[in-house]
Structure formats: structure tokens, C-alpha cells
Amino acid sequence: MGPYQYGEPGMTVIALGADHAVFPLKEDLKAWLTTRGHRILDVGTDSLDAVDYPDDALLVAEAVTIGAAARGVLVCGTGIGMAVASNKVPGVRAAACADTHAARMSREHNAANVLALGGRVTGREAAIAILQTGLGTDFGGGRHARRVEKLAALERAIPRAGVSDAPAR
Ligand code: RB5
């Protein structure tokens, strides 16, 4: 893999969140991202005290959808809960990725804007490689753009409660 480069111009701020199971990995990812010039919007958590992953997922999802962050990165035990939760927020395309191929495809084909990692199943070095791949891969456009637009159409077609109706943390 070549040296890291920003995937998109202006992709400066990354929203980052984790639950208690894996928050040390969030700190490692934060250090890695900061070293590479990103600013981090860290929504927590910062201790081993148990939290509920949907709360962190919502904060990162909102940061991405309002444009406060260019991308989101969420870490829980498997990555699955964070992906499921953040995908409830319209405009989010979250992908739980356990390898670099999935990370590349999630960007190239699905224009994923949130990467979910599983800190109990993916080690630090692999997580960084997955993150680097995701950030460094552009959306492929073309036929994939038509499909991603259909995802947005699904969101418009299915009425749902607004994010502001989400239960308080
Ligand atoms: C927390 O124990 C665990 O359930 C959470 O980190 C995550 O793996 C959920 O998907």
C-alpha cells in the first residue's frame, strides 16, 4: 500500500466514536488520524464504563449528515451494532468492514460515509489498514451512482421519525 493521501479535497474532519468495549482502539485511530492532519470530532466514549453503542452511533451519524464531519468512524465489539444503528439516520451509508477489500468496495461501490470497525475481532494494525483504505478510496460513480441514488430514494419513500425524536442519551 502506498503512502496515505486524503481521499477527497477538504476531507479534514473525521467524527469518531466507540463504545466501552473498544475505546482504546478509538484512541489509537485518533492518534493515527491526527498525525495525518485530520481534525477529530470525538464523541466518546472515554472509559470502560458501559455505554450503549446506538448513542455514539447517532452522534457520529448526525455529524456526518449535517456536514460537521466529512466521514464517520465507529468502533464497537464487532462493528455490526454501530453500522446497524448509524444506518438508521437518513443520509448515512455505514459499512462494517473486517478487511481492506470490504473497505475499498464500501467506498467504490457504496459511497460509504461511515466506517464501522470491530475492535474485538480486528486488531490495531488491521484496523488502521482498513481505515486507511477506506479514506483513500474514491466513490466509483457510473452505475454505482444510480444504485446509491436508489438508496436515497428508499429513504425518501419510507417515512420515519426525525433524528430529533431519538431518545436522550
Ligand atoms: C458491547 O458488549 C457489544 O455488544 C458492542 O460493542 C457491539 O459489539 C455491538 O454490536
Residue nearest to atom 10 of ligand 1 (CA): 81
Rounded Cα–Cα distance for residues 120 and 75 (Å): 9
List the residue whose alpha carbon is closest to atom 3 of ligand 1: 77
SS3 71: strand
pLDDT tens string 55-89: 999 999 999 999 999 999 999 999 999 999 999 99
The CATH T-level fold of domain 4-159 is: Ribose 5-phosphate Isomerase B; Chain: A, (3.40.1400)
Give the residue numbers annotated as catalytic, written as ranges: 76, 109
What's the pLDDT tens digit per position in 17-57? Answer: 999 989 999 999 999 999 988 999 999 999 999 999 999 99
- Backbone φ and ψ for 42, nearest 5 degrees, come out as -95, 115
Residue 22 alpha carbon, nearest atom of ligand 1: 6
Residues 131, 149 contacting (CB under 8 angstroms): no
Tell me the pairing of strands 114-118 and 71-76: parallel
Rounded to two decimals, what is the model's pTM?
0.90
Position 7 confidence tier, pLDDT thresholds 50, 70, 90: very low
